[in-house]
Amino acid sequence: MKATTKYENKKILVLGLAKSGVAAAQLLHELGAFVTVNDAKKLDDNLEAQQLLEQGMTVITGEHPIDLLDEGFAMIIKNPGIPYSNPILEEAIKRHIPIYTEVELAAEISAADFIGITGTNGKTTTTTMIYQILNANKQAGQALLAGNIGFPACQVAKAAAASDRLVTELSSFQLMGIETFHPKLAIITNLYEAHLDYHGTRDEYVKAKWNIQNNMTADDKLILNFNQAELKELSKLTKATVIPFCTDGSTKEGAYVLDGQLFYQTELIMTASEIGVPGVHNIENALAAICVAKLEGVSNEVIRETLIHFVGVPHRTEFIGQFENRKVYNDSKATNILATERALSGFDKQHLILIAGGLDRGNSFSELVPSLTDLKAIVVMGETKDKLVVAAKEAGIPLIYEVDTMRDAVLNAFLASDLGDSILLSPACASWDQYENFEKRGEDFISEVARHFKKSK
């Protein structure tokens, strides 16, 4: 950790807890700041706040009182999930109090360089691919996961050595709160419309993502998806050196696909079919990871071997095994139509049974119909099952099952399948109609498969 006196004797408000808030508060306290923690959750039910109180910090819970700002804070470190429309933040902006997220704090104290990964889809998979490839070959130090993937950046940065790399997944929410954050390598996997309830407009969302390159220079490398015209245009606006990737071979300056093979510039890395997880989107993820690996000096053989054995990230087209000679995949993280479309693109749909459905957010599934065409069967559940039945009939799926529980979904999926088929949970919907989160939904799916069917050798 770099030594710094920047926060010593400064009054700093940490707004919102969860993992990143706790880590930020503890680090600031260690650096000599006078830390006040404010969390909406009441103290009696807030173990994290209780622990910080015991460690000597001022803790205010149950609400975000605006008059708290009268304390004269030098800055606010906010939880990324708290929108800037929150009244206390609106007032802080009026008072010109700087507002950051904890990744900015991490950048201040990190001895290790950052590899930053953002984008609408594929962030976690790409981050994990990079982490595994680098650690398969690193001669000095290690790659460390950080950020939105579940490890607070400032906590990881505190323990990182100069020879390490912080492989950091970054959300648009986090990137709105940076000023000096400076990755040496950065990736934007893709840009689609998302989080408009938070950002207000697509332009504001894209602007937040583009913040990742704000402090990069020509010595730094910005890896962009040139399958997207928007990112091609944005590439003209950065000071960083741009390394493109694409699946159509239209540019050969970075990583690309040609005749079903993955290249980096003139070097053949592997065939696309060798990647351990299916789907065109995972080819894109692999291309982005290959760019980082080559820039970090990893050999082609190590890259290939790591990607061949890559089984995915939990709940993201995760291969959970063969059961009764059917391949089973858990893609519970597919909480929107686009994610399910991308998942379906990686399968032979004539031998695929899809389990879908969940929270009804008011949208129809007409745009999913082309991706449903040729499916062997579909099992629908949750609030959206009636809408999915309409889409399934329009797509001409011959076998349609309506169920109420994951147990029945799994049983019917196996009933509809034959030896050699695949079964995919990819809901195209959020989980909150029946589950606390998509992780719980995925865990229930895996549990029901294992409970009722034998794993094939």
- 451: CB partners within 8 A, 6+ apart: none
Segment holding 242, helix H or strand E: strand 241-246
Binding residues for ATP: 119-125
Segment holding 28, helix H or strand E: helix 18-30
Distance of CA 259 to the CA centre of its chain: 29
Dist CA 103 CA 88 (whole Å): 21
Phi, psi for residue 382 in degrees, rounded to 5: 80, -170
Binding residues: 119-125
Lookup: tokens for 405: 């529980």
Compute the residue count for the chain.
457
Q: Over 81-149, what HEC string results?
A: CCCCCCHHHHHHHHCCCCEECHHHHHHHHCCCEEEEEECCCCHHHHHHHHHHHHHHHCCCCCEEEEECC
- DSSP E strands: which ranges in 247-376? 255-258, 261-264, 267-271, 318-323, 326-330, 352-356
3-state secondary structure at position 398? coil
